[in-house]
Amino acid sequence: MPERPFSPVISLLTVASVWDGHLGAQLRDLGLTTRKYALLAHIEATPGISFSELSRRSQITVQSAHTAVQTLVADGLVEDATKHAGSASDLRVTVRGSDVLQAAQQRLAALDAGLADAAPALARALEGLHEEPPRADGGSAVS
């Protein structure tokens, strides 16, 4: 069987999957998944954020954002401060949500340090890529 050429894309996806598993394990007892953690962090960073903005930032559908936020509300981590039905949502992190998010951020910081120690060149190469990921055609993601 011929040897396949190295694929940086497959390598990145593999590494991402491994570290996503590590993060998921760290968040599990807090009642969070990686996606819920990200949504909670976005809501805390932008109190009053709308579902459409939350879905855009999270790169998920509005329907998926609604479903995930409903779970965060049921868990007492987020509240929708909307005064009446039909109004735009006004999402905010609760005190409990803020405590859970702080614990999650501490665990993430420990994982970040572990990755930086294990693969410093990779950690440096990844810095800033989430803000403007490269496009497949080599152009800038932001026009």
Cβ-proximal residues to 73 (8 Å cutoff; 6+ apart), any chain: 79, 80
pLDDT at 114 over 80: yes
> In this structure, what are the phi and psi dihedrals at residue 44, rounded to the nearest 5 degrees?
-65, -40
Cβ-proximal residues to 64 (8 Å cutoff; 6+ apart), any chain: 55
Residue with tokens 């559908």: 61
C-alpha triplet 76, 58, 126: angle, nearest 5° = 120
49: three-class secondary structure by DSSP:
strand
Residues 31 and 21: their CA atoms lie apart, in Å, by 15
Closest by CA position to 23, among listed 108, 80, 83:
108
pLDDT tens track for 36-58: 999 999 999 999 888 889 999 99
**pLDDT on residue 80:** 85
**CA Rg value for the chain:** 18
Split at pLDDT 50, 70, 90, the class of 26 is very high
pLDDT tens track for 79-112: 987 755 556 678 999 999 999 999 999 999 999 9
| pLDDT (average), residues 65-79 | 94
pLDDT at 29 over 60: yes
pTM of this structure = 0.81
